[in-house]
Every structure is written in structure tokens, then in C-alpha cells.
Chains A and B, each alone.
Chain A
Amino acid sequence: MGQLSQPLQPGAGSSPARWRRACHQCDLLLTRLTAPMGCKLVCPRCGATQHRNMERSIAHTLSLSISGILLFIPTATLPLLEFSLFTFGAKNTLMNGVQALFAAGYLWLASIVLFCSVIAPLGKFVMLAYICWGSAWARLRKSVARTLRWYEHLQEWGMLDVYMLGILVALVKMADLGKMEVKPGLYCFVAMMVAASAAQVSFDPETVWARLARKERQARKRKTGGIDSEVEG
């Protein structure tokens, strides 16, 4: 695993004969695995970002995803918008629209909206928090690896930013019909959206994989009775 020494092709000169990475978008072999701290590793041929090395990635991602989970509570319970017409008024919460669509018989539509605006964003926060916390224990290696894989699949389905734009369009569209009011839930929603984007940017799977491998090595050494105890990092 990871220890792949492959001979270079004959014509390629005397560069280090160890490929560390291949671009996932154009299959170009690269001799570098990670970017230096604070830098971005970009494929020289197609320009795809290979790795972004963020400082203290795990700690930042963990704190951002926990704040995201906490912000989800007021966002889901407080109303986001209020629409009033004459003496009538109606409030909109995050789940309200899904319920209304569900009641009107649009099951498929309701489930897509529910998945993209509630389940996927919340799932992403929970998964990130679990990955960052669980990577500290060699025992959880398997389940953290599985969660990481699922996170990759879920990533593009969290659409808080698109939902935010939807709220703005709804606000403007209905402004001439009645009175639209922004409620405190919306501020929590915006904060959650910012936390989601920040967590996604600061998260670096490569660091987590390296940490998992390190913990496993330590655990194995302890099990075989290694005398020199390594300092936990």
C-alpha cells in the first residue's frame, strides 16, 4: 500500500523512479504526493487540483463541522421567512416546504428537496466530524475509511448555497404580492452555509489518510511489543 516503486519508462531520463500520484482527471503520473503547507498541487498537464494543504486541517474541519451541526438546530426550528398579506401570515421553516410538497402529493420532488437541503448537508457535517474525530483511533480505521468514501459521494449533493439563492429569488419574487420579512432562522441558515463551505475547503482527505496510517503503525508496534514508544502526534 502506497509503497509502489515502479521502474520509469526507458526514455525518461534519470528522474526519481517512484511515482507517488496520478492525476485523477488525465492519468498523468506525478512524483509528488502532497503540496507544501499552504499551497496547492496542480496537475501540470490538465490543471486539476490534486491536493490542497491547509494548515491544521483536521482541527479546523472538526470545529467547523461541529459548529455546523449546532447551527442546524436553530435553522431547522426557527422560521426563515415570513410572508404576510392583509391580516394573514405564514412562516417558512426548512422542513415546511418539504411537508407542503409531500402533502400535495409530490413525493419525488419533496424527497429531492429534503435530501439536498437537509439530509446531505447535515450528513456531511456529521461525517466530517466523525472522520476527524475517529481518525485519532486505530480501532476505528475501517469505519472511518468507509465514511470517507461515502463523504466523497455525498459531497456535491449538499446544496445549501443553491437553497440560499432560492430564498433570495423567492424573497424578490413575492415582494410585490405581500410583505416578506426575514426571520432570525435565516441568519442561522447563512451561518450554517458559511460553515459548510469553510469545512469543505479546509477538509483534506490526504491528511486523514496519513493520520490513519500513522495510528495503525503505532498500534501495530504497540501490539508487537515495541520498546520505543512513539510520541503521539
Chain B
Amino acid sequence: MNRPARALSEGLWVCLGCRQLIEPPQGARSCICPRCGARVHARIESSIMLTWALSITGALLLIPANILPVMTVIYLGSGEPSTIIGGALELYQAGLWGIALIVFVASIAVPVMKLVGLAMLCLIVQWRLDVSPRQAMRVYRVVNAIGRWSLLDLFMISILVALVDMGAIAEVQAGPGSTAFATVVVVTMFAVRAFDPRLIWDMYEQREVEAAELAQRIETQDNDGYSDRENG
């Protein structure tokens, strides 16, 4: 059986700092990359556990981030605090549905999708689900690419807080929800970093090997049965 050669089965590691191929010292669990000085492991250390820990932290923080107000716009002495969803809804009701959609995608859809995606990836590796690795990689890449856009809402708040500051006439204040939301974004960005996509391929490889072994065993059994019958 001609299988694509993997670095790990050839005893080679990849430095994630400079992507150089490294021959690790015999029996070592980690080594220092001779070129860039980063610590290199065969796979990211306790990747799944770290990803779970950080995503669960993110998921829990998402609750205060959505319940607590992120921003208060006070206009002529009146105004009430609005949450993230409230802000998007307000824009929609004002007829600015394009901007409402951007805000909705960046601050509601993206964090939720990211957490769901990370949980899916962890489960695929842990439970060895029968998912094509290409599909799983697609999920990984989407999760990786969209993460940073959630900070959009916070940048907007920081701009408005500075811009609309006229005492009793008009004022924008930040709310405690924004702190929670900022932490969600940072924590989930670290969670994506902690996940090692090579684990998906390791699992796929292992499953292929097992399937091949099984097929071979069945074949030999069949042959045995056949020869038995022939002899008898």
C-alpha cells in the first residue's frame, strides 16, 4: 500500500515558527529549532485540552457579553443602555440594514460560529468521527480567518466614546458587556491557535491503516476458507 509520507512517521518534525523541517534528537519530547529558536513539538502540546478549555471559557463569557449592555447613547439627557443584539436591531429598525448585517455577522454570528466550529473540530478528533479531513480543514480555515473581525464592535465603541462626548447633550458611554465581549474575542483567538489541524490528518491516517488491516484480515480469512473447502 502506497501511503503519502508524513513527517511524523519519518521521524521528522516541523517548526511552527519558521516551518523548517527538523530532525529531533532521539527520544526527545521537544527541542529547540536551530534556525529560529522556537520550541518544537511533534504536535502542539495538549492541543485538544487547551482548545476545549479556552473555547468553554469563551462560551461562558459570551453570556455576560450578550446580557450586559455594551454601550449607552445618551441624547439630550435620555437614552438607555443597549446590548450587542440591541445595537444591531436598532440599526435595522433605522433602515440601515447593510450596516446592521455587518454588525450582526461580526459580533453575533462570528463568535458563535467560531465556538461551534472549534467544538466540532475537537469532537471530530476526540470521537474519531467519520468526517472527510478536507471538510474538517475547511471548518478550521474558516474559524481561523473570521476570528479577528469580531473586534469590530469594540473599535466602533472606542471611536464613538471619544467622538460623542458633549456632556448632557450627547454622550456615548461604554458598558460592562464590552469587557466581556473583548475577552471572548481574545480567548477564542488563542483557542484557534491552540488547535493543531495535523491531529485531523493523524486520525484519518490511523483510520485508513485500520481499514486496510481489516480488509487484509478478511481477505486472508476468505482465502483460508476457500483453501479448506478445496482440500476437503
Residues of A within 8 A of B (CB): 1-2, 4, 6, 8-9, 11-13, 19-29, 45-48, 50, 80-81, 83, 85-86, 88, 90-93, 96-101, 104, 106, 108-110, 112-113, 116-117, 145-146, 148-149, 152, 156-157, 159, 162-163, 165-170, 172-174, 176-178, 205, 209
Contact = CB atoms under 8 A, between A and B. Distances in A.
Contacts, number: 223
B164 A174 contact: yes
A215 to B, nearest CB: 14
Contact of A22 (B21, B99, B106): B21
A27 B2 CA distance: 16
Given A19-B12, A149-B36, A209-B18, A167 B159 contact: yes
Interface residues of B, number: 73
A145 B35 contact: yes
18 contacts: A8-B5, A9-B5, A11-B2, A13-B2, A22-B7, A29-B4, A90-B162, A90-B166, A92-B162, A100-B161, A100-B165, A112-B186, A148-B18, A156-B189, A163-B155, A165-B106, A173-B91, A176-B94
B5 A162 contact: no
Given A85-B166, A97-B159, A98-B158, 7 more contacts: A11-B1, A81-B163, A88-B166, A92-B159, A166-B151, A169-B152, A205-B18
Nearest to A178: B170
Contact of A166 (B35, B156, B173, B201): B156
Contact of A97 (B19, B162, B173): B162
